[in-house]
Structure formats: structure tokens, C-alpha cells
Structure 1
Amino acid sequence: MQMMTRLEEAQALDPVSDRLQGAVQAIAKPQWLRDVLHGTWLGHPLHPVLVQLPIGSFVSAAILDLLPGRSRSATVLIAAGVAGVAPAVAAGWLDWSQLTKDRRRVGLVHATTNAIAVGLYATSLVARLRGRTARGKAFGFAGLTVAGLGAYLGGHLSYAQSAGANQAAPEIVRVPEDWTEVASLADLPDGRPVVRSAGEVPILVYRYGDRVSALIERCGHETGPLGEGEVTGEGADACVVCPWHGSVFRLTDGAVQHGPAASAQPTLRSRVRDGRVEVSQP
């Protein structure tokens, strides 16, 4: 863990990280491309889904390499794994470009490690195709070892640093379970969200006509203040744009419309009772 803490604090990586971040964001300009690669349409990040093909292929090839007479099948699997790397890399780099500096440092080493692993597997594939099976196996096992280190770093990003997680979701349990009054309906402007509190949790309350919806106010992507975001559209189709990274959520149900957020903004139950607006946990 001390090694990972040092990596998170390795400011020497920042110049390279900053330049790569700018390059990735410049390449992935179209919003539709960003939404596809972030996994906005899927409901969670796309990168973990895409890595299943190369990882599964490489692990399966290693098992076949331990068995007699399976070299041709292992070669096919390594070819499939190498071919499947590109889309996983594209999604991973775009997600990485939206992270905080400490997580980008770990992510940079994660990506570099995986690039070395893919290079070893590509070398393995070339050796196998030239009939040098023993050399191909050796490079394949080396690639799997390095890929294991890359997987460890990816796990640290996901579970220790919450990269890709909906960071607003834990706030739900801090909202009172019982119905809690947060505002008077008459005091809420129609068509414009306002920030109120449910217990100690800031929430975004949106009135449209006689109906009210309530979202966790901190953006699930990187906890940006949605209460300071621009509102687009109107009525039931109105959305709020996170002022930090531009994620767009529908105010009536929290549905994510554009990334980098990949999952919906957590919503609360809401009701109007005797002219008072009340919310509770879902």
C-alpha cells in the first residue's frame, strides 16, 4: 500500500499526464463518440466490459499452452486478444482523461504496464506464426505476468480510488429514511432547480408544475455542484449540466443524457403534502 500511495503522489508524472490528457480530449471531440466510449448508453463505464475479450483470450491461451497439441488454438486466442485491445484502450484513455491528478498518475502507469503486456503478446503472436512455438509461449507467459500487474493497478483505481464509480450513490444512505420536509411548494420556482438539504445531504429540488423531483446535488462523476450548473430544456425534459465536466442529467428522473458520467444521478422519493415538499430514501 505504501508503494501505491507513493504512486498517487508522484507529481513527476504530471507533465506527461497533462499533455496526454489534452491530446485525448482533442481527439475525442464529438459528443456522440464521448458518450459511446464512456458507456453513457450502457449505464456504466464501457472500458471494464471491453477488456473482457483480451483478458479472457490471454488467460485461455495460457491454459492451452500448458496442454499438449493446443498451440494452434492458443495462437488464435492470442490473435483475438490483440485485436480486441484497441476499443478497450480507446474507452480507457477517455475515462482516464476525466480523472483527478492522483488517479491519472496511477492510470498512466496502469496503461503503460498494459501496453508492455500487449507488446509481449504481439511478439508472441509473431513468433507463433513463424513456427517458433516455444518462443511464442515464453513471450505469452511474460505478457500474462505483466498484464496481471496492470490488472492490479486497475483494481486499485476502481476500488481504492473509486475511478468510474458513481460517487453520489453513497449519499443516498445519509438521507433520512422517513419523509423529510425540504421546502414549501410555493417557495420553489417553477422550471428552475434549487438546492435544499435532506438531513445533512444537499439535494437538487426541481418543480415542474405541481410535481417535484429531487436528485442528489453532487454529481456522481466527480462530485461537481449540480446546483451551479446550467439548465437546458424545460418542463419534464429539462436537464442540468454539471459545471465541472459537462455531464448532463434529466432533472425529473436523473437519467444521464451525456457523459462523462456513465450512470444516472441518484434520485430520491418525493411528494407534495399539504403544500409542503417532502423527500425520503428510494
Structure 2
Amino acid sequence: MDRLERYAGGDRLLDAVQRAVRALPLGAGRDALHGRWLGHPLHPILVQVPVGAWTSAALLDLLPGRRRSAGVLVALGLAGAGPAAAAGWVDWAELHRDQQRVGFVHAVANATAVVLYTGSLSARLRGRSLRGKWLGFLGLTVASAGGALGGHLAYRQAAGANHAEQVPHLVGSGWHDLGAVGDFPIGRAVRRVLGDVPVLVVRENEDTVHALAEHCSHLGGPLSEGHLEDGCVRCPWHGSLFRLSDGWNLEGPATAPQPAFEVQLSAGRVRVRLDRPASEQQKNGSPPEKATPLGSSGERRR
């Protein structure tokens, strides 16, 4: 697997396929296939249809008198393979190159399984049940190898994972100072580090400052190097669009929002904190902390 990640011999082919996938006129359907509406990638869910159907068909092929039922399941798996492949390809086009190398072989294995199961179904329809069974068993073997590659892609290479999930676990409770208000020019993205967590800070005007976790939830891209547009920031790596006010992901490929900080301007300083449930704060031994309201002290809140 490690050698496959580093193998650059097929990168020109990968470039061509990536351009072709990105050029598809999918419109809003691209975000739907990414799973932005779902909150996590759609591809792993769609894969359950062909994998489950083909596994069940293999079991029925081992039992007497189940030839017709097994054929129906093979057909169901073939019907579900198309949507699963579509979601997988749009995700693949927005991955790092080492992830794409593994993902491409994963896709080739799955395509080979589809070819074998197509032959299996054809043989069954022509009454050649034994040939259909063996092609099905071979297809399941190849699909299982493709699944192993998919597991490596997801769990070893973290493709599709939320790369900002750890932020609430690394940022301590309460308010944290990020610097003087004057250190943040209006309309510019500034990067600060809060403990071990990089933070994107954008001062919108004299009274409004936004702060988000700086590493993009999609693949960890540096949002401070992204483009600011209409109260949002676009990741420079793969184009995910996040709303500055609350971190909501308005466009994919990111399927998870960015952790957003509450911001307080006090005595010329910028302070931030992550909202935490009262139960979590009490568990940590501290009462829920409230932000200081506007008042005669001159403190201002976002």
C-alpha cells in the first residue's frame, strides 16, 4: 500500500481523469454526491447496496434451489454500483495525489467486479448457472480487494474524514487572548495559533471579528491563504466555501462545517472561545461561562 501511494508512474493518467471528472456539468449535483447535505461522504453509504447484494448472492449460490433469488441480487448490485461509483469519482477528484493513486486502483478493482458480475448475470439469464456462480464468486473476490483498498484510503489516509474534528478536544474552555485588535487589518485573513490549534481571524469592520479553525475540514487546507468573498472564506486547495460567522460549509467538497469561535472585543484585545454544552463544562469542574455584555466598561461582543 505504501509503495502504491508513492508510485508516480501513472500520474499523467490521473491528471487527465481528474480534469474529466471536474469538467462534468453536475452543478448542485456535485455537492449532493459529495454528501454535503448529509454531513459526511455519501459514497460509503451507496457502496452498501452492491456489496450487500453480491455477498448475499454468493451465500444463496451455496444453497440449493436459490438460483433465481441469487440472480435478482446480482442485478440489484449492478444497479447500485452506478450511483456508488458516481459519488466515489467526484470525491476522488478532490483528493491529494497519494490518495488518488490508491483510489484509482480501488476504482479499477470495483469496475472489474462490475464486469465480472455483468458476465455472471448474463450467464444466469442464458441458463448457464454454474458459470454464473463462478463469475459471481470471482467478482466478489475482486470487489473485496477493492474494499480493502477503500478501507486503506479512508482509515489510513483519512480521505473523507473530518480534519477539523479534533479542534474542540484541543482548545481549552474559557476565553483565550489572540492579540490586539489593531493586529488584525480589516478585510484580511490572519493566522494565529491558539495552543496547538491554528485559527483563522478575519476582522470584518471596527466592531466585528470572526474566528474559525484554520485547517479546512475537508483535507486540512490553510484557510488563511484562501479567498474572502461575501462574508465567507474559500479554501485554496479544493474550493470548499465556509461562512465566517458560524463556519457553515456552503459549498463542498467539505461535508463538515468549520469549528467557529465566539469572539469578544475587550479593552482593545481580541478574545475567543468555543461554545461548549453546560454539561461538559460542569464535567470539567468549571461552571458555564457567560460573555461580558455591552456596558459602560466599553466591552463589545461580536
TM over 0.5: same fold? yes
2:246 maps to 1:250: no
2:11 to 6, 11, 14: 14
Larger radius of gyration: 2
Could you tell me whether the CA contact under 8 Å between 1:185 and 1:276 is conserved in 2? yes
The counterpart of 1:5, out of the listed 2, 5, 14, is 2
2:227–2:234: 8 Å Cα contact kept in structure 1? yes
Q: Quote the offset at 1:110 in angstroms.
A: 0.6
Q: Counterpart in 1 of 2:294?
A: none
Could you tell me whether the CA contact under 8 Å between 2:189 and 2:225 is conserved in 1?
Answer: no
In the alignment, what sits opposite 1:113?
Answer: 109
Question: 1:41 corresponds to which residue?
Answer: 37
Give, in whole Å, the separation in 2 of the partners of 1:262 and 1:185: 32
**Contact 1:176–1:198, Cα closer than 8 Å, also in 2:** no
Aligned-partner residue type, residue 254 of structure 1: G
Q: With the length of structure 2 as denominator, give the TM-score of the two structures.
A: 0.83
Q: Percent identity?
A: 54
Q: Return the offset for 1:203.
A: 0.7
Whether the 8 Å contact between 1:182 and 1:198 is mirrored in structure 2 is yes
Q: Is the 8 A contact 1:168 1:266 kept in 2?
A: yes
**Mapping 1:120-135, distance limit 5 Å:** 120-135=116-131
Structure 1 stretches lacking a partner, 5+ long: none
Structure 2 residue 261 is matched with structure 1 residue 268: yes
Structure 2: which 5+ runs fail to align? 276-302
Q: Is the 8 A contact 1:173 1:281 kept in 2?
A: no
Superposed, which structure 2 residues align to 1:90-239 within 5 Å?
90-185=86-181, 188=184, 193-207=189-203, 210=207, 212-233=209-230, 238-239=231-232
**What is the deviation of 1:192?**
5.2
| Greater alpha carbon shift after TM alignment, 46-55 vs 66-75 | 66-75
Q: Give the 3 Å change call, closer, same or farther, for CA 192–9 of structure 1 in structure 2.
A: closer
Instruction: Determine if the alignment matches structure 1 residue 23 to structure 2 residue 20.
Output: yes
1:69 aligns with 2:65: yes
Shift of residue 272 of structure 1?
A: 4.3
Deviations 1:4-54 (A, max 9, x none): 11111111121221221122112x244413212211222111111211111
Cα distance change of structure 1 residues 193 and 9 upon mapping to structure 2, 3 Å threshold = closer
CA distance in 2, matches of 1:266, 1:132: 57
User: C-alpha separation between the residues in 2 aligned to 1:138 and 1:158?
Assistant: 30
Match of 2:10, SS state, is helix
Which one scores higher on RCO, CA 8 angstroms, separation ≥ 6?
A: 1
- What corresponds to 1:86 in structure 2? 82
- What count of residue pairs does the alignment treat as equivalent? 274
Offset of residue 275 of structure 1: 5.1
**TM-score where L is the length of structure 1:** 0.88
